[in-house]
């Protein structure tokens, strides 16, 4: 049925939901999940949209819909990724998650058609139509309707009049993180392009990320680490967390801008010794520092208010033994830095970057990871709230620039967008530059959410640094 909205620049007509099952028999099995998978903060549904350039064949054959070949590829991919067709629920005995996989399970798929071209929406590059894009992903209700638990994944394939398409997904963060979901999406695209099997064969092995598994590798006598768990619910209910007249925007930062920001830090007068002058600064570190400070100033926080920067850090190759290739579960820890609003505003940028680098390094230590997993496990067993990080005034940064969606299928992937709810204003996402806009290779798009007045001030702060 068509869905229309006076504020929406296009109309989407959706077909009935089809349950896509694996093309070959798969095991009847009950699977356990890792400690990070089990973290209640990860039991959220993520909406993600991938935008593909127009395909000449579809443009010239109006009766053809890309959902047909995606449906076949999905069915073949589920032979390898059959857990994504299962059903999730928490056990009442210990609050741990369980994934039940049985014959007949499948992934809901919706075929849809949009009433416009992708170019008329600027390939959704600017973020001007972020609210309307919810038409391009399945409703969260699509995951419900099971006798036991809920489905972890649903997809929607939307064809545009130009022959382009979007693949919209809703999936439970408990089953896979961004890298894991990208691995699955890459498998679908490879199979759709004619490969006999995915380049990377998936591995479940969720037992590898538990405190018992990692603690055997932690040296006795190490100083006990003190990881801080983020209590998202408490943060969102904090009186310091904004809730009214929120807006979400995507800012484009060019590669030249990033180089300029790095040079400013390197030339900072506080970098006095040779070691710091030769300090390698990553794009994540420099953007984390500038965006964190700009957000703090824009929100006009009380100078004594403590604010945290929290960065998701992958542990795929840092824990011992490293996770096997193909592991698609949650595999990250959090690095955090805490300062008062006054300290954040006044501290030299080179010092902020140093604090961020030190926090990232500490978060990759096996002892730190082990203690964080223990804390998560104890929280679940005792049904306690996670330790508050600092009153809820924090920014959580996650990097989506290197998810690995490189397959040149259809017209080519040009854009990827997480539909971050306005109710999660602390979440900031670094996105790759859109391929729909020439000349932006190497740049970064920063997705952030703030009160409307603060957003204007935030952009002024960023612009003042880039164009003094």
pLDDT score, position 391: 40
Give the 3-state DSSP-derived string for the chain, with helices as H, strands as E and coil as C. CEECCCCCCCCEEECCCEEECCCCCCCCEEEECCHHHHCHHHCCEEEEEEEECCCHHHHHCCCCCCHHHHHHHHHHHCCCCHHHHCEEEECCCCCCEEEEECCCCCEEEEEEEECCCCHHHHHHCCCCCCCHHHHHCCCHHHHCCCCCCECCEEEEEEECCCCCEEEEEEEECCCCCHHHHHHHHHHHHHHHCCCCCCCCCCECCHHHCCHHHHHCCCCCCCCCCCCCCCCHHHHHCCCCCCCCCEEEEEEEECHHHHHHHHHHHHCCCCCCCHHHHCCCCCHHHHHHHHHHHHHHHHHCCCCCCEEEEEEEEECCCCCCCCCCCCECCCCEEEEEEEEEHHHHHHCCHHHHHHHHHHHHHHHCCHHHHHHHHHHHHHHHHHCCCCCCCCCCCEEEEEECCCCCCCCCCCCCEEEEEECCCCCCCCEEEEEECCCCCCCCCCCEEEEEEEEHHHHHHHHHHHHHHHCC
Kindly state the percentage of the chain with pLDDT values over 70: 83
Find the range with the poorest average confidence among 50-59, 191-200, 219-228, 277-286. 219-228
Going by DSSP bridges, is the β-strand pair 12-14/107-114 parallel, antiparallel, or unpaired? antiparallel
Q: Which tokens belong to 449?
A: 């959410």
CA–CA separation, 18 and 2 (whole Å): 18
Find the range with the poorest average confidence among 84-98, 227-241, 384-398, 439-453. 227-241
Can you say how many angstroms the Cα of residue 243 is from the centroid of all Cα atoms in its chain? 22
Question: Cα 189–397–438 angle (5° rounding)?
Answer: 50
> Of the CATH numbers 3.30.565.10, 3.30.559.10, 1.10.8.100, 3.40.50.300, which one belongs to the domain with range 12-209?
3.30.559.10
CA–CA separation, 44 and 31 (whole Å): 19
Question: Is the pLDDT score of 127 beyond 70?
Answer: no
Q: How many CA atoms lie within 13 A of 448 on its CB side?
A: 28
- Name residue, tokens 């992937």: 413
pLDDT score, position 234: 55
Q: How many CB atoms lie within 10 A of CB 335?
A: 25
Find the range with the poorest average confidence among 213-217, 224-228, 332-336. 224-228
Q: Which tokens belong to 431?
A: 């996105």
**What does the pLDDT look like over 317-347, one tens digit per residue?**
888 888 999 999 999 999 999 999 999 999 9
Bridge partners, 396 (sequence order): 310, 427
pTM of the model: 0.88
**What does the pLDDT look like over 52-71, one tens digit per residue?**
988 887 777 778 899 998 99
Q: Does the structural domain 236-403+423-466 have CATH classification 3.40.50.620? A: no
Residues ≥6 apart with Cβ < 8 Å to 288: 309, 311, 356, 397
The domain limits of the chain are 12-209, 236-403+423-466
Backbone φ and ψ for 20, nearest 5 degrees, come out as -90, 120
Question: Is the pLDDT score of 388 beyond 60?
Answer: no
Q: What pLDDT band is residue 156 in, cutting at 50, 70 and 90?
A: very high
């Amino acid at each position: 049925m068509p869905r229309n909205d006076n504020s929406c620049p296009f109309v989407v007509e959706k077909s009935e939901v089809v349950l896509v099952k694996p093309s070959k028999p798969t095991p009847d099995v009950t699977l356990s999940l890792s400690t990070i998978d089990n973290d209640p903060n990860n039991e959220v549904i993520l909406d993600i949209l991938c935008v593909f350039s127009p395909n000449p064949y579809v443009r010239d054959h109006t009766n053809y819909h890309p959902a047909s070949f995606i449906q076949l590829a999905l069915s073949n991919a589920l032979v390898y990724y059959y857990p994504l067709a299962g059903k999730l629920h928490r056990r009442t005995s210990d609050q741990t998650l369980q994934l039940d996989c049985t014959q007949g399970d499948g992934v809901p798929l919706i075929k849809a058609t949009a009433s416009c071209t992708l170019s008329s929406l600027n390939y959704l590059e600017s973020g001007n139509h972020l609210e309307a894009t919810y038409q391009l992903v399945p409703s969260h209700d699509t995951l419900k309707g099971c006798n036991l638990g809920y489905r972890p994944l649903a997809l929607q394939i939307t064809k545009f009049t130009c022959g382009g398409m979007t693949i919209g997904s809703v999936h439970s963060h408990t089953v896979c993180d961004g890298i894991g979901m990208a691995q699955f999406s890459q498998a679908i695209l490879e199979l759709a392009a004619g490969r006999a099997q995915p380049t990377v064969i998936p591995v479940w092995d969720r037992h590898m990320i538990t405190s018992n598994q990692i603690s055997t590798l932690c040296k006795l006598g190490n100083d006990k680490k003190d990881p801080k768990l983020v209590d998202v619910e408490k943060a969102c209910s904090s009186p310091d967390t904004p809730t009214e007249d929120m807006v979400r925007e995507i800012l484009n930062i060019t590669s030249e801008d990033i180089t300029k920001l790095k040079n400013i830090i390197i030339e900072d007068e506080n970098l006095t010794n040779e070691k710091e002058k030769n300090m390698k600064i990553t794009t994540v570190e420099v953007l984390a520092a500038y965006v964190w400070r700009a957000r703090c100033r824009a929100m006009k926080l009380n100078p004594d208010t403590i604010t945290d920067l929290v960065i998701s850090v992958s542990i795929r190759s840092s824990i011992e033994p490293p996770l096997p290739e193909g592991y698609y579960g949650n595999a990250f820890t959090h690095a955090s830095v805490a300062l008062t609003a006054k300290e954040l505003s006044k501290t030299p940028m080179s010092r902020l970057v140093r604090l961020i680098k030190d926090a990232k390094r500490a978060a990759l230590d096996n002892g730190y990871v082990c203690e964080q997993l223990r804390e998560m496990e104890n929280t679940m067993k005792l049904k306690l709230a996670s330790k508050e990080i600092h009153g809820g005034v924090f920014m959580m940064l996650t990097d989506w620039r290197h998810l690995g969606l490189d397959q040149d299928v259809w017209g080519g992937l040009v854009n990827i967008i997480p539909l971050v709810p306005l109710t999660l204003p602390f979440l900031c996402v670094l996105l790759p530059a859109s391929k729909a806009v020439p000349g932006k290779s190497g740049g970064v798009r920063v997705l952030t959410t703030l009160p409307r007045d603060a957003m204007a001030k935030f952009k002024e702060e960023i612009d003042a640094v880039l164009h003094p």
